[in-house]
Structure 1
Amino acid sequence: MTDIPRSSSGRRTARRLGVVTGAASLAAVGTLLLGTVPAAAVTGGAGVGDPYFPEDGNSGYDVIHYDVHLDYDPAHPDHLAGDTTVTARATAGLDQFDLDLKGFEVSGVLVDGRAARAVKRTGDHELVVTPDRQLRQGQRFTVRVRYAGAPPAEGWHILDDGGAEASGEPHGATSWFPANDHPSDKATLATAVTVPTGWTVIGNGLPGPTTVDGGRSTFRWAENHPMVTYAATVAIDKFTVQKYKLADGTPVVDAYSPGLAIDPKTPQLQSDIISFLSSKFGPYPFESAGGIALGDGQDVPNGLETQSRPTYAGGLWDYPMTHEITHQWFGDSVSYTDWRDACIAECVAQYATQLWDEHLGADLDTDFYQGTLKDVLGDPSFWSTHIYDAGPGHELDEGIYDKGALMMHALRRAVGDADFFATLKRWTSEYRDSNASWPDFERLAAKVSGKDLTGFFTAWAHSTTVPADQYLYPGSLAKVRITR
């Protein structure tokens, strides 16, 4: 997610409702539709035990793939119809399991093509499914859910012209499709969205065939690399679409909402940013690239690292692009194990804007590091965030971005450029398309550098006071002299 980008000086420059199984309808939330769960049932848990969001995700299975079909008419923005099939593998014998889905009337649930024995709602987002027969441990199975209604606003954003955009961190996906909504369970994604002809749909990954039938068009997209649910998106608008390729042939799709200025230099700028970041982090990790630029001032995120095609508000500019494209390596390709791990994405992405400044000629020791310290050394609030394990409700606090970017530069000076960038490249290579934790990063940095970094990371990532001078000014960093 984008924080307000920084200039070379280091300071800021901007900043379940009713359910139906078969023919029966559900009138009261939480009531079983058909039958009961056997007394000796093996049930999947509601929640994977995340320390910040204990009810997020579900245990008992791993998702392999989401196939999401949506029907949306911008003339009726309060209605969305969905038909999603989730392909998963049972990690235990299951008589019952949960999916995460907010809102909507659910009109049918099929497990391996057979009507579920029972479906009920519990809590804010749990859809509890009892299949017709027990799922065996290791069994691959499908769950098809048909649903419709007013999409929740947390992750489904209505644009001013009636179009829509789906995104949100830490939550958002369950506002438009049923999911195992936790970063630890990554899966591939295919979307097919039907809209009135004249509207365009942009999604993650590679475009598929667009079909037109009776004044309605269906757009298809496929992300073939596993992804976290919060990085999934569809955007519906009367977009201007630009297509081109990177130097290595990777296809790029940029989409601009009506009224946005399109800089003819953007394709080259985006290509240069991806090339530069690839030189620091390793090969670009996905099969496609690009961006979705939505109208400024609307109720959409300022920026989000939607996989392979980040979402931006107002246009495609160098600092937001540098931040969100960095997330393609840090956060998307290599994702959190749980929500304590935000630094593996945000610390690096925020520091990447400084690397871009350096690429353009800035001296980061003086312009960024010392310049920022002069402003914040006497400000206890700046240091008050634990970069790792910031606490529930603080998982994306500003301090993770700002203090984290300073820490990354201090680490670079502590281990030297060669080992610092070697650590970043080994991280993106060894954990590609999977999950890792911030403690994993600390261990890798120590391994690559051959140095004991325990004191350094304790001072920076696990404390809430100004680090001791030996960690604040490692390597070639000169001590800041402040005159009062």
Structure 2
Amino acid sequence: MRTLVIATLLAFAPAPAADTVGAPGIGDAYYPLDGNGGYDVTHYDLRLSYQPLTDELWGTTTVLATATQDLTRFDLDFLLRTSAVRVNNAPARFVSQEDGELVVTPATRIAKGDRMVIAVTYRDKPSTHERYGFTAWWWTPTLTRGLGEPHIAPWWYPANDHPRDKATYDVSVAVPDGKEVISNGTLAGTRRQPGGWVRWNWRSTSPQGPYQTSLLVGDFDIVRRTLPDGRAFINAYDTSIPNRTDAEALIDRTPEIVAWESSVFGDYPFDAMGGTVTPCCDGLENQTRPTYGADLAPVGPGVVVHEMAHMWFGDSVSLHDWRDIWLNEGFATYAEWLWSEHTGAATAAQRARETYDGYPAKDPFWQTIVADPGERDLFASSVYERGALALHALRAAVGDTTFFRILRTWAATHEGGVATTGEFIELAERLAGRDLGTLFHTWLEVPTKPRTLP
């Protein structure tokens, strides 16, 4: 267990009024300590240094936020050893709790609506920390992967760690010369520093959730291009992967795939795109630049279709609560089926039939309540595939014209924000002009195999 660290105790200080204390969680059904109450973050500025040989990370993260209530105390989600916190340029008292909450008491009360500038200085080894019983930070001396879902931020920067609170980002990380740093958005430049270090500066200008924000440090070949529409197209390939050409053949198709997805879902919502390929681990839809495992050839372009579909469904339109995860994974899986149909392979109807017939009625696949799968089944196959089946059932019920109008309207209406399953159902019913409650109940809430596939 991590030792409780207390900086600057104020003995016999009166307890703050309950209505001026920010809640230690944002109210998620599965992760009660994710996010925090009392403020809304607008921007994160990370100015860090990282030594990959020892997994030491240090520096200062500045959080720009607005108080949504009067505050005498608030929390940040953070695991690393903190040495100082300042709020609006004044030293603040803080306590690093064992549960990953950094409790901050500003020198003066923050009034509702006031802007807060929170600067947190720290130094630690991220891989030595756990939250919710696991370590999200993946480290070896040759490759560091600071990415994960549903959690990663508390392992490397203090955050309001929930998709409900999105912000823009500047991620500036110095590493020894010869190592590369990959993050989200556009590469604003690199700068050499004394002692043989190089500082990498990445910028994300669209609202971005904490788990969608990534940091990779290692030996990468970085390929930078500018697309005809002016967007940055940046790919990074770990130099140790044995099948670089296989990976390039798929990742280089990203603009083609995004162009097709834009024709289906609406305009691409970000100013950059690309991908990062590492020798291990599954893919993840880091905003603008998903990360892929190296063995891409067997799965084909479907994995790129899936991860880039998340740019609309998951990253731009993010879940309001982790129980709404099918809004991410069901939509991205159905995008794969639509791509199959678009390229003249199996139709979406055939993919749906294959999935429906592939699981017997007694299979546990049908026992997951897709609209509320529970923490343990957050990434169960049924969330992906039965979620896609629900969308196919909707398409069959309302017809192609209305169905694709629903998808485009959903992406446009909630761009840069968050949404719920209930809001999707309401939109579908409004645009279809009919009650769809039974359909969604059957495919998302009933823990048995539906009798028929539309």
Do the aligned residues in 1 keep the contact of 2:285 with 2:311 (CA within 8 Å)? Answer: yes
1:275 aligns with 2:259: yes
1:113 aligns with 2:96: no
Greater relative contact order structure (CA < 8 Å, 6+ sep): 1
Aligned to 2:355: 372
Measured against aligned partners, the alpha-carbon deviations of 1:69-95 in whole angstroms (never above 9, x if no partner) come to 221122222x21131011100011111
How far did 1:315 drift? 5.8
Aligned to 1:177: 157
Distance in structure 2 (CA, Å) of the matches to 1:72 and 1:179? 19
Distance in structure 2 (CA, Å) of the matches to 1:315 and 1:134? 53
Measured against aligned partners, the alpha-carbon deviations of 1:98-146 in whole angstroms (never above 9, x if no partner) come to 00101x2211111111100x21123410010100101011000111111
Aligned to 1:210: 190
Distance in structure 2 (CA, Å) of the matches to 1:240 and 1:132? 47
Measured against aligned partners, the alpha-carbon deviations of 1:17-75 in whole angstroms (never above 9, x if no partner) come to 57xxxxxxxxx446763456533432111011211111111100011111112211222
CA RMSD, 1 decimal: 1.9
Moved over 6 A (4+): none
1:326 aligns with 2:302: no
How far did 1:343 drift? 1.1
1:386 aligns with 2:369: yes
Do the aligned residues in 2 keep the contact of 1:258 with 1:295 (CA within 8 Å)? Answer: no
Aligned to 2:132: none
1:140 aligns with 2:115: yes
Do the aligned residues in 2 keep the contact of 1:46 with 1:126 (CA within 8 Å)? Answer: yes
How far did 1:266 drift? 4.0
1:91 aligns with 2:68: yes
How far did 1:446 drift? 1.1
1:358 aligns with 2:341: yes
Aligned length: 439
Matched position secondary structure for 1:328: coil
- Which structure 2 residues correspond to residues 281-292 of structure 1 after superposition, within 5 A? 281-292=265-276
Distance in structure 2 (CA, Å) of the matches to 1:294 and 1:287? 23
Matched position secondary structure for 1:303: coil
Aligned identity (percent) is 38
- Larger CA deviation: 277-286 vs 382-391: 382-391
Distance in structure 2 (CA, Å) of the matches to 1:125 and 1:44? 15
Please point out which of 409, 432, 435 is paired with 2:392. 409
Distance in structure 1 (CA, Å) of the matches to 2:177 and 2:416? 35
Distance in structure 2 (CA, Å) of the matches to 1:460 and 1:81? 48
Question: What TM-score, normalized to structure 1?
Answer: 0.87
1:244 aligns with 2:225: yes
1:122 aligns with 2:97: yes
For structure 2, list consecutive stretches of 5 or more residues without a partner in the other structure.
130-134
Question: Partner amino acid for 2:414?
Answer: Y
Measured against aligned partners, the alpha-carbon deviations of 1:164-201 in whole angstroms (never above 9, x if no partner) come to 12111111111000001111111111100000111111
1:47 aligns with 2:25: yes
Distance of aligned partners of 1:91 and 1:361 in 2 relative to their CA distance in 1, 3 Å threshold: same
Distance in structure 2 (CA, Å) of the matches to 1:232 and 1:40? 34
Question: Partner amino acid for 2:283?
Answer: G
Distance in structure 2 (CA, Å) of the matches to 1:323 and 1:188? 24
- Larger CA deviation: 346-355 vs 145-154: 145-154
Distance in structure 2 (CA, Å) of the matches to 1:95 and 1:171? 27
1:74 aligns with 2:52: yes
Do the aligned residues in 2 keep the contact of 1:62 with 1:89 (CA within 8 Å)? Answer: yes
Do the aligned residues in 1 keep the contact of 2:163 with 2:210 (CA within 8 Å)? Answer: yes
Question: What TM-score, normalized to structure 2?
Answer: 0.92
Matched position secondary structure for 1:464: coil
Matched position secondary structure for 2:311: helix
Matched position secondary structure for 2:244: coil
Please point out which of 465, 475, 481 is paired with 2:448. 465
- Which structure 2 residues correspond to residues 142-161 of structure 1 after superposition, within 5 A? 142-152=117-127, 154-159=135-140, 161=141
Do the aligned residues in 1 keep the contact of 2:212 with 2:285 (CA within 8 Å)? Answer: yes
Distance of aligned partners of 1:365 and 1:105 in 2 relative to their CA distance in 1, 3 Å threshold: closer
Distance in structure 2 (CA, Å) of the matches to 1:392 and 1:347? 17
Aligned to 1:168: 148
Please point out which of 262, 267, 290 is paired with 2:244. 262
Question: Partner amino acid for 1:242?
Answer: V
